Amino acid sequence: MIEYKRVGKKFGKQWVIRDLSLKIEMGEIFFVLGRTGVGKTVLIRMLVGLLKPDEGEVWLEGERVELLNEEQLRAVRRKCGMVFQLPTLFDSMTVFENIGFGMRRLSAISEGELEARVKRLLELVHLDPEIRGYMPSELSFGMQKRVSLARAIALEPKYLLYDEPTTGLDPFTARQINLLILELKDKLKVTSIVVSHDLESMRQIADRVGLLEAGDFVLIASPEEFEKSEQEFVRRFMESG
């Protein structure tokens, strides 16, 4: 389980997150909605120790993440697959090497097994295994995002953190990515946090949604309750989308 307890994070003197509390249950897709720059990405980065909170506690499976050292954080990060806003593929490596990057280093796997696993992962994210020899620059943006998703799930994480997974994609590809997120949740039984400002994605995939504004959640609810909410800020956000 993931839990944020009265968490605060500031950059310089500016508090981006303040007194935020949240519990995420196993197996759910929690959707963090919010405007650009309200600290959505900060929230998931604190979970894997890429950023440390200035106040409060971040818990993951009974461990206080902010108290762990770099060595201990590595074990936490292996439980979490992170899909960045940009694909962040290693541009000097092929698709095969990118997906196999973590497996090659962290598991005793033979080249034959690795080959088979990369093929399966490419199929899982609906990409032709034939592209495994391609360089990232030879792929479209949407394909790169899928490859980065395949790399994130290669180590079989229990949690998947998506940072703006549909940003920069056309509606058709964005819908495919959303369906993929749902499919991975069912097939891999992962708990997911999706950070986005895309209302359509929220409607398609969220089990619960939280609207972040001025450092804390304005509302945490199911997508249906969220759509019906009479809160002024929620209404304004929905209308602007």
Partner 1 sequence: MGERILNIFSLGIFRILGGALVGLGNLILGIGARSIFLWEVITKIGKKPFELREFILQLYLVGVRSLAIVAVSGFFVGGITVLQFHYALSLFGAQVYLGGVTTSGLLRQVGPVLVAIMITGRVGAFISAELGTMRASEQIQAVRCLGLDPVSVLVLPRFLAVVIMIFLLTIVGLLISLAGGALVSFFLLKVSISYYLVNLLKLTTIQAFLNGMVKSLLFGILIATISCYEGYYSAPSAEGVGKAVNRTLTYASISVFLVNYIITAIVSLTFTLGENILFLSGAR
Residues in touch with partner 1 (CB under 8 A): 48, 50, 70, 74-75, 77-78, 80-82, 84, 86, 88-91, 101-102, 105-106, 148, 151-152, 155
| E-strand stretches of 35-154 | 55-60, 63-64, 80-83
Q: Closer to partner 1 at the Cβ: 118 or 209?
A: 118
Q: Closer to partner 1 at the Cβ: 6 or 52?
A: 52
CB of 109 to partner 1, least distance (A): 12
CB of 106 to partner 1, least distance (A): 6
Q: Closer to partner 1 at the Cβ: 49 or 210?
A: 49
CB of 88 to partner 1, least distance (A): 4
In the block, tokens 């304005």 appear at 218
Report the alpha-carbon distance of residue 15 to residue 5 in Å, rounded: 16
Report the alpha-carbon distance of residue 150 to residue 112 in Å, rounded: 18
Q: Closer to partner 1 at the Cβ: 111 or 239?
A: 111
**Are 28 and 55 contacting, i.e. CB atoms less than 8 angstroms apart?**
no
CB of 138 to partner 1, least distance (A): 17
- For the range 168-174, what are the long-range contacts, defined as Cβ-Cβ under 8 Å and sequence gap of 24 or more? 168/141, 169/141, 169/142, 169/145, 170/142, 171/200, 173/142, 174/198, 174/200, 174/201
Q: Closer to partner 1 at the Cβ: 165 or 215?
A: 165
Report the alpha-carbon distance of residue 188 to residue 160 in Å, rounded: 10
Q: Closer to partner 1 at the Cβ: 102 or 129?
A: 102
Which of 179, 202, 181, 177 is closest to 190 using CA atoms?
A: 181
CB of 47 to partner 1, least distance (A): 11
- Partner residues linked to 31 by β-bridges: 194, 209
CB of 151 to partner 1, least distance (A): 8
The radius of gyration of the chain's CA atoms, rounded to the nearest angstrom, is 18
